[in-house]
Amino acid sequence: MSFINYVINGLSLGSIYAIIALGYTMVYGIARMLNFAHGDVIMVGAFTVFFGVSMQGLNPIAAVFVSIAICITLGVTIEFIAYRPLRGAASSLVVLITAIGVSYFLQNLALLIFGANTKSFTSMVPINPVRLAGGEIVISGETIMTILSCIIIMISLTAFIKKTKPGQAMLAVSEDKGAAQLMGINVNGTISLTFAIGSGLAAIAGILLCSAYPSLSPYTGSMPGIKAFIAAVFGGIGSIPGALIGGILLGVIEILGRAYISSQLADVIVFMVLIIVLLVKPTGLLGRKLQEKV
């Protein structure tokens, strides 16, 4: 029975990774950059809710929407100020380092405003835990909420990309920026939209993450950000179903590894699995192989 509990916990953590990985994978697909600051947007989202609810007594639901709005604004602003001027720069490393600078900036800004102490985050989920099989399997409210949100986000995002004009524009830009521009697509606007969606998802992920694991510090987003990025690579970067599969697998492997092998070596196992998967299938589980032209 404890095995089933672990798997459920793994699904919950994996869903959070999947939501974060979506942001990574969409931005990578369109702008071809590793947005290292994505993890810190998660932290900003969680801090906004913490500040609103615990310090200002705001209605939790209102706080969640405020948080999403702030993260969207933040994501678009970061893209506009720090990444857009570097588009077309000589080396892709340059944008990576700038993203690291943005990440430092957000962490230290949070450090300045809220201090280094870990805050205890009150869960935003008003659902009672469900007990099954005579109370042996416990599914917490946070788990239900997380998995539900993940499913809803996946379905609506896929529908958005397949059925709407802006969604199709995103696909076109990720395929070929120049050709998309010639077809009259506003490339800059589409990239901004991608950052907006990714950052909005990061806010949701941050709130869910801190509801399930209620400690919040300026560095909260950093490790989940890296793990989610690994999930994105694992599933095949640039692929939306890949992010879902990668995230879920990563979460389950991490929780099972922590439970059955060693809590200290759980991360080692996660990284090992990543390396093995990439060695066997270098573009990730669902990634497309790009032919290199001479």
**Residues contributing to the site for other proteins (CB under 8 A):** 28, 34, 36, 82, 85-94, 96-98, 100-102, 104-105, 108-109, 111-112, 222, 226, 229-230, 233, 237, 262, 264-265, 267-268, 271-272, 274-275, 278-279, 282, 292, 294
CB of 73: closest distance to other proteins in angstroms? 18
* Between 22 and 147, CB nearer to other proteins: 22
Question: Cα–Cα distance between 252 and 143 in angstroms, integer?
Answer: 13
Residue in the structure block whose two tokens are 């944008």: 95
* Between 94 and 132, CB nearer to other proteins: 94
CB of 76: closest distance to other proteins in angstroms? 16
CA-based nearest residue to 196, from 166, 164, 222: 166
Question: Cα–Cα distance between 189 and 51 in angstroms, integer?
Answer: 31
Question: Cα–Cα distance between 66 and 107 in angstroms, integer?
Answer: 20
CB of 279: closest distance to other proteins in angstroms? 6
Question: Cα–Cα distance between 227 and 250 in angstroms, integer?
Answer: 8
* Between 59 and 262, CB nearer to other proteins: 262
CB of 246: closest distance to other proteins in angstroms? 12
* Between 84 and 196, CB nearer to other proteins: 84
Q: Which residues pair with 215 in a beta bridge?
A: 120
CB of 237: closest distance to other proteins in angstroms? 7
DSSP 8-state class, residue 139: E
CB of 27: closest distance to other proteins in angstroms? 12
Length of the chain: 294
* Between 88 and 135, CB nearer to other proteins: 88
Contact assessment for residue 40 and residue 106, using Cβ atoms and an 8 Å cutoff:
yes
Residue 213: φ, ψ to 5°: -125, 90
* Between 133 and 279, CB nearer to other proteins: 279
Q: Which two tokens stand for residue 227?
A: 């793990």
Question: Cα–Cα distance between 241 and 248 in angstroms, integer?
Answer: 11
